[in-house]
Structures are given as structure tokens and as C-alpha cells.
């Protein structure tokens, strides 16, 4: 499915459940919220997008703790979870999608290579889920597009729509 198809499916799933959606984005710089708001009528479901590229923005806008960033770095499970939790707490959303990663071309290391992205998904009343993907280092645009695609799929999966949308096992 294309990112547009996934965005439409996720908006419909949120609308069907009567929940709003928010994003907390670092490496994608707003591409997830853009994919959602490109769809007419998305304003009935989309609450807001937090673009938190810097560590300071993560702390100021999402209450990511400095101790978390110091201990684990911006690209980590812990940061993705705190981003998703912060977006839930600071919005009217019942579903949040958070991403933090290394899109390249530089900035990678042996422990955190270019293409590593951590995803956090918050659903009101449930524990925040986190997972990571290591995308092929096929360029910055590729990594960011694949990150958007996977985040939308995770949103659908979280809402129990993965089989209906033909995404994720």
C-alpha cells in the first residue's frame, strides 16, 4: 500500500473509533503529519504534529527527560517511548505516533547506524509500544519515506486494522 492509502486507512480507523491522532517526529521532520493532512477531511481526526528535531525541542514540547537523552541518546527505545507519551499528554489525541532515527547520510555509528529508526506508539489507556527498524542505507529520502510508511502501518496495527489494511503480520 502507498503512504497515501495507509494514511486514508488510518484516518478512517481513528474516525471509526472517535479518537484524534497526533505525531511526534524527529527524523521525518513532519512527513507523517503531512501524509495525514494531505487527505481532505483529516481535520476531524488529526489534532497536531510535534516536530522535535533537536533534543531541546523533545524536552520542551514533549517532556522527554534530559536524563533519558543523556543515558540513551535521542535515537533510542526510551526516547521514542517518552516522545509518544509526551504527545499523548500534550494533545487531545488518543493515538500518537513517534519517530526518532538517523536518516543520514552522516550521523551514524557502529551502535546506531544510518537507517536506524525507533518508533513509539501511544494508545490512550494502554502501555506505549516501541520497536525499531533498520532500513537500508539507500539515501535520506528512502529512509524517511520508509519511516513514514512503517509508522502509518504501526498506527493501523495498534488499532487492530492491520489485517484489514493488509499490513504487518
- Give me the residue spans of the domains in the chain: 3-162
Pairing between strand 21-25 and 46-51? parallel
Grid cell listed for 107: 550521523
Its pTM stands at: 0.95
Per-residue pLDDT at 161: 81
Q: Is the Cβ–Cβ distance between 90 and 71 less than 8 Å?
A: no
Which residues in the chain come in under a pLDDT of 70?
162-169
Nearest CA to 83 among 67, 107, 61? 61
Q: Give CATH for domain 3-162.
A: 3.90.950.20
Per-residue pLDDT at 157: 95
Per-residue pLDDT at 112: 97
Amino acid at each position: 500500500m502507498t503512504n497515501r492509502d495507509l494514511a486514508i486507512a488510518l484516518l478512517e480507523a481513528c474516525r471509526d473509533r472517535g479518537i484524534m491522532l497526533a505525531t511526534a517526529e524527529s527524523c521525518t521532520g513532519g512527513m507523517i503529519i503531512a501524509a495525514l493532512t494531505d487527505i481532505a477531511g483529516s481535520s476531524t481526526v488529526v489534532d497536531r504534529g510535534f516536530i522535535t528535531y533537536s533534543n531541546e525541542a523533545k524536552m520542551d514540547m514533549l517532556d522527554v527527560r534530559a536524563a533519558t537523552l543523556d543515558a540513551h541518546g535521542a535515537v533510542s527505545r526510551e526516547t521514542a517511548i517518552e516522545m509518544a507519551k509526551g504527545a499523548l499528554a500534550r494533545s487531545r489525541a488518543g493515538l500518537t505516533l513517534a519517530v526518532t532515527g538517523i536518516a543520514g547520510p552522516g550521523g551514524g555509528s557502529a551502535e546506531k547506524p544510518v537507517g536506524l529508526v525507533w518508533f513509539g506508539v501511544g494508545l490512550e489507556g494502554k502501555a506505549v509500544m516501541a520497536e525499531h527498524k533498520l532500513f537500508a542505507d539507500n539515501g535520506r529520502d528512502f529512509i524517511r519515506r520508509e519511516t513514514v510508511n512503517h509508522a502509518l502501518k504501526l498506527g493501523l496495527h495498534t488499532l487492530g486494522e492491520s489485517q484489514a489494511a493488509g499490513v504487518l503480520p
